[in-house]
């Protein structure tokens, strides 16, 4: 292998570049010095919905259309002039930081503990039988922030903008932003809004004038209530304006950066960079990983994610409001009894009440007394993104940490930072943004204090720098927690410089290389999954390379963020027939929205001579929210176990890849996966061919914004099967088809229960 030079030439650039170790692929970007790597034999051992600004700022375009300068994405010859001031640089030497080298977990002997991975569980069937009397959930609320006047929801657009709104299709934009599914519609709106805001900045308007303009248009167009408009404009507007004043990017470049493949792949030299790998050959890869030994010691691991505890949740309040979060006294009185918030939560846009969090933790502590350690992958505060404060978010963090300590005394907990912990949401300035009023140290310093209840002292330096850390759990087994907000494309600070923020990925490589030298296996935890559309494509691309290089070291990854029960696959970038990694995406505790609350239990290969540190099996547990509100008491039950439900002999990457192929070809199996994906929610919608393509493609894409590369074959197969199904239905005739739809669910036994029959029979 060609040695990597010890230093790289530095190029001057008008763009902000943080000193680190990632190298640029463009001569416009400053490159950095490579860190020294540990050598073999050395002493070193060893996881929806926040782009509110996009809707707000594009409103400003409407009265300014006659001004060509207001639409620079259409008039590309007009280039805004940016007054650039380069901030002070900061340095950080990775290899000088302390490392966790002493095992952190002392295993507890559970002599009677067994894991019945492949045995049938009659309790599930018994519980489903009890659900026969359940009626189909009737939620009248929309899944959008916009409401159609034709549908009787009462929103009337001002006549002078009705035509413009239809042209920009802002309803579709709002839906796509809220669900993180972007298309050309959102791309067009993004370009218009970004271009208009840049034009207004260049015209000399003050920050106060810009924020007032955004607030006025949001309110006048009834996009949201006046208080939401004002809160969002104040919280997000000032930060966004600060960033846009300091970047020299066109609207095309900005929107491609934020939206990704939904807005074309515009080349942007300011945001093209690559991490540097040490000059160490990759170990030979195995044809396939060994299957973990049956009856061998294992760790029982609890995974909790996306609690979104709402201290202001109020039973009986309006659950059908026109704001991003409902079920509070401030949401108003419900218009009908059906619009009232339930006792234990609600399927509509409502987060988790305290009694539900308390009940879940008590249930876990009583049911799973043999938990060895806990993975806690973030998002503790609620979705009231328009009026959050640093003080309130810190209070929620402190309260939940205290509760976890009390409920699970002596159990190690490994946390990861979510995107909702900051105020405003998604705002995570890298270390070079160190001004007192905008620095993120207020959060990271407190996290270090709270997390140190479970973590060793050696993590302090990296937690306070970037909220990431590495801990040796057992000899030969390490957990690395990443701050995935440095890949969050809603984090506007990355527009200043996305080059490996906080030097996190280069530190990640250093930790993995050290683990490889020490024959350690690694589990990675985080919040935003690296293949999700919310993850920045250049960051995700580099992360994907790292996982490929260290595929023999990283044996599992664990994330949250989506609120669904799903997974992501990783493949060799040069051979898509070789799966080399699996990321487990745990279900949310919060029902936000249309979901049942849930959590995950993993069984991980434990301490023995032939351990693989692979996940042996996992279980998803849920609480049926509809039933809990009807009968006044929640019951948590095991929804499914992965190996039994999908008939998998193991949970290696190759086994998950085989399952993906089966999901593509076997409609009955896909419907079972879809049921579990939604945590058996009675509010889940039907899934057509486009829905099926999206879900399976999400599973295949551990690298974000690259669906064309991973999904062409899958989409072609689904389209072909859909075409066959349509022809079969057509020739069969409408009458026979209707009879089939009525009778078929009653004869289905694989993975379905009486509850599903009830849903079908009542029209669900």
Q: Is 187 helix (H, G, I), strand (E, B) or coil?
A: helix
Q: How far apart are CA 602 and CA 620, in angstroms?
A: 9
With a CB cutoff of 8 Å and minimum separation 6, the contacts of 655 are 648, 649
Q: Are 379 and 458 within one domain?
A: yes
Asked whether the whole model's pTM tops 0.85, one would answer no
**Residue 308 labelled as part of a binding site:** yes
| Higher per-residue pLDDT: 268 or 157 | 268
Residue 642's closest CA among 682, 716, 591, 587? 587
Q: Are 246 and 369 within one domain?
A: no
User: pLDDT by residue (tens digit) across 373-396?
Assistant: 999 999 999 999 999 999 999 999
Q: Are 385 and 450 within one domain?
A: yes
Residue 674 belongs to domain with CATH number = 3.60.21.10
Q: What are phi and psi of 190, to 5 degrees?
A: -60, -45
Inside any domain, residue 669: yes
Q: Are 248 and 166 within one domain?
A: yes
Mean pLDDT value across residues 541-558: 98
Number of domains present in the structure of the chain: 2
User: pLDDT by residue (tens digit) across 135-189?
Assistant: 333 333 333 333 333 433 333 444 444 545 555 555 555 555 555 555 667 788 7
**Residue 306 labelled as part of a binding site:** yes
Amino acid 168: pLDDT = 53
Alpha helices for 311-457 (secondary structure H): 354-367, 390-407, 441-451
Contact 538, 271 (CB under 8 A): yes
**Residue 561 labelled as part of a binding site:** yes
Q: Are 527 and 614 within one domain?
A: yes
Inside any domain, residue 557: yes
Of all residues in the chain, the percent with pLDDT exceeding 70 is: 73
Q: Are 215 and 305 within one domain?
A: no
**Residue 420 labelled as part of a binding site:** no
- Which residue among 716, 733, 751 closes a domain? 716
Does the N-terminal peptide bond of residue 593 adopt cis geometry, omega within 30 degrees of 0?
A: yes
| Higher per-residue pLDDT: 469 or 217 | 469
User: pLDDT by residue (tens digit) across 65-124?
Assistant: 444 444 443 444 444 444 444 445 567 888 788 888 888 888 777 766 766 544 444 454
Amino acid 265: pLDDT = 74
User: pLDDT by residue (tens digit) across 322-381?
Assistant: 899 999 999 999 999 999 999 999 999 999 999 999 999 999 999 999 999 999 999 999
Inside any domain, residue 654: yes
| Higher per-residue pLDDT: 541 or 32 | 541
Residue 683 in this model has a pLDDT that exceeds 80: yes
Alpha helices for 452-503 (secondary structure H): 460-466
Alpha helices for 300-437 (secondary structure H): 354-367, 390-407
- Which residue among 676, 701, 716 closes a domain? 716
Amino acid 376: pLDDT = 98
Alpha helices for 685-706 (secondary structure H): 689-700
Residue 609 in this model has a pLDDT that exceeds 90: yes
**Residue 359 labelled as part of a binding site:** no
Contact 372, 107 (CB under 8 A): yes
Q: How far apart are CA 381 and CA 388, in angstroms?
A: 9
Mean pLDDT value across residues 230-236: 91
Inside any domain, residue 239: yes
Cα–Cα separations (whole angstroms), residue 551 to 288, 315, 581, 689? 12, 48, 7, 33
| Mean pLDDT over the full length of the chain | 81
Q: Are 255 and 303 within one domain?
A: no
Three state DSSP letters for 519-588: CCEEEEECCCCCCCCCECHHHHHHHHHHHHHCCCCEEEEEECCCCCCEEEEEEECCEEEEEEEEEEECCC
Residue 164 belongs to domain with CATH number = 1.10.225
Residue 15's closest CA among 30, 27, 4? 30
Q: Are 640 and 707 within one domain?
A: yes
Q: Are 232 and 372 within one domain?
A: no
Inside any domain, residue 667: yes
Q: Are 197 and 309 within one domain?
A: no
Inside any domain, residue 494: yes
Amino acid 5: pLDDT = 39
User: pLDDT by residue (tens digit) across 400-438?
Assistant: 999 999 999 999 999 999 999 999 999 999 998 888 788
- Which residue among 259, 274, 289 closes a domain? 259
Q: At what angle do helices 390-407 and 354-367 cross, to 10 degrees?
A: 30
Categorize the per-residue pLDDT at 268 as very low, low, confident or very high, splitting at 50, 70 and 90.
Answer: confident
User: pLDDT by residue (tens digit) across 467-501?
Assistant: 999 999 999 999 999 999 999 999 999 999 999 99
Inside any domain, residue 496: yes
**Residue 419 labelled as part of a binding site:** yes
Q: Are 521 and 667 within one domain?
A: yes
Q: Are 455 and 512 within one domain?
A: yes
Q: Is 346 helix (H, G, I), strand (E, B) or coil?
A: coil
Residue 597 structural domain: 299-313+351-716
Inside any domain, residue 394: yes
| Higher per-residue pLDDT: 741 or 364 | 364
């Amino acid at each position: 292998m060609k040695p990597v030079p010890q230093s790289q030439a530095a190029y001057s650039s008008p763009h902000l570049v943080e000193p680190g170790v990632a190298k640029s692929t463009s001569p416009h970007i400053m490159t950095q010095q490579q860190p020294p790597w540990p050598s073999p034999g050395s002493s070193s051992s060893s996881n929806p919905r926040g782009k509110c600004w996009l809707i707000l700022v594009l409103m400003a375009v409407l009265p300014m259309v006659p001004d060509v300068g207001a639409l620079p994405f259409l008039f590309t010859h007009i280039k805004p002039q940016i007054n650039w001031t380069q901030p002070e640089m900061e340095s950080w030497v990775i290899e000088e930081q302390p490392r966790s080298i002493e095992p952190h977990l002392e295993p507890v002997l559970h002599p009677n503990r067994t894991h019945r991975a492949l045995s049938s569980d009659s309790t599930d069937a018994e519980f489903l039988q009890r659900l026969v009397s359940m009626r189909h959930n009737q939620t009248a609320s929309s899944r959008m922030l916009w409401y159609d006047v034709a549908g009787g929801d009462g929103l009337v657009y001002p006549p002078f903008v009705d035509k413009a709104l239809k042209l920009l299709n802002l309803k579709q934009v709002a839906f796509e932003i809220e669900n993180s599914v972007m298309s050309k519609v959102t791309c067009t709106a993004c370009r218009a809004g970004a271009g208009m805001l840049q034009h207004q900045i260049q015209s000399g308007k003050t920050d106060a004038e810009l924020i007032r303009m955004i607030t006025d248009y949001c309110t006048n167009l009834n996009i949201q209530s006046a208080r939401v408009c004002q809160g969002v404009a104040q919280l997000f507007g000032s930060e966004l304006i600060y960033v846009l004043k300091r970047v020299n990017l066109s609207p095309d470049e900005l929107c491609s950066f934020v939206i990704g493949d939904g807005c074309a792949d515009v080349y942007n030299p300011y945001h093209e960079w690559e991490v540097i790998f040490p000059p160490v050959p990759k170990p030979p890869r195995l044809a396939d990983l060994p299957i973990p030994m049956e009856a061998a010691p294992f760790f029982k691991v609890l995974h909790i994610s996306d609690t979104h505890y709402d201290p202001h949740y109020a039973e009986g309040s309006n659950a059908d409001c026109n704001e991003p979060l409902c079920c509070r006294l401030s949401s108003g009185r419900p218009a009908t009894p059906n619009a009232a918030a339930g006792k234990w939560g609600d399927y509509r846009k409502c987060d988790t009440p305290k009694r539900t969090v308390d009940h879940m933790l008590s249930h876990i502590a009583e049911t799973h007394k043999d938990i060895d350690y806990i993975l806690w992958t973030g998002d503790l505060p609620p979705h009231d993104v328009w009026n959050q404060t640093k003080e309130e978010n810190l209070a929620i963090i402190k309260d939940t940490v205290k509760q976890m300590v009390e409920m699970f005394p002596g159990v190690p907990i490994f946390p990861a930072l979510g995107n909702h912990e900051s105020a405003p949401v998604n705002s995570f300035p890298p270390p070079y943004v160190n001004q007192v009023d905008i620095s993120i140290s207020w959060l990271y310093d407190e996290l270090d204090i709270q997390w140190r209840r479970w973590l060793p002292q050696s993590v302090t330096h990296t937690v306070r720098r970037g909220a990431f850390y590495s801990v040796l759990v057992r000899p030969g087994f390490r957990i690395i927690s990443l701050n995935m907000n440095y890949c969050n494309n809603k984090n506007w600070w990355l527009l200043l410089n996305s080059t490996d923020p906080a030097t996190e990925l280069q530190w990640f490589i250093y930790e993995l290389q050290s683990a490889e030298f020490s024959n350690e296996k690694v589990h990675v935890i985080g919040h935003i999954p690296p293949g999700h559309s919310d993850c920045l494509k250049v960051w995700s691309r580099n992360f994907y390379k790292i996982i490929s290089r260290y595929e023999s070291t990283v044996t599992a990854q664990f994330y949250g963020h989506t609120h669904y029960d799903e997974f992501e696959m990783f493949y060799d970038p040069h051979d898509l027939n070789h799966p080399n990694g699996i990321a487990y995406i745990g279900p949310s505790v919060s029902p936000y929205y249309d979901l049942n609350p849930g959590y995950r239990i993993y069984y991980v290969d434990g301490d023995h001579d032939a351990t693989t540190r692979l996940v042996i099996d996992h279980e998803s547990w849920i609480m049926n929210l509809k039933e809990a509100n009807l009968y006044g008491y929640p019951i948590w039950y095991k929804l499914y176990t992965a190996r039994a439900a999908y008939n998998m002999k193991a949970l290696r990457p190759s086994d998950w890849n085989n399952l993906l192929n089966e999901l593509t070809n076997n409609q009955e199996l896909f419907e079972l996966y879809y049921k579990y994906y939604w945590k058996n929610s009675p509010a889940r919608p039907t899934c057509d061919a486009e829905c099926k393509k999206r879900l399976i493609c999400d599973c295949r894409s551990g690298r974000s914004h690259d669906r064309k590369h991973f999904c062409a074959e899958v989409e072609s197969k689904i389209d072909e099967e859909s075409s066959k199904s349509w022809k079969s239905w057509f020739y069969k005739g409408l009458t026979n088809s209707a009879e089939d739809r009525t009778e078929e669910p009653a004869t289905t036994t694989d993975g379905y229960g009486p509850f599903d029959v009830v849903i079908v029979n009542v029209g669900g």
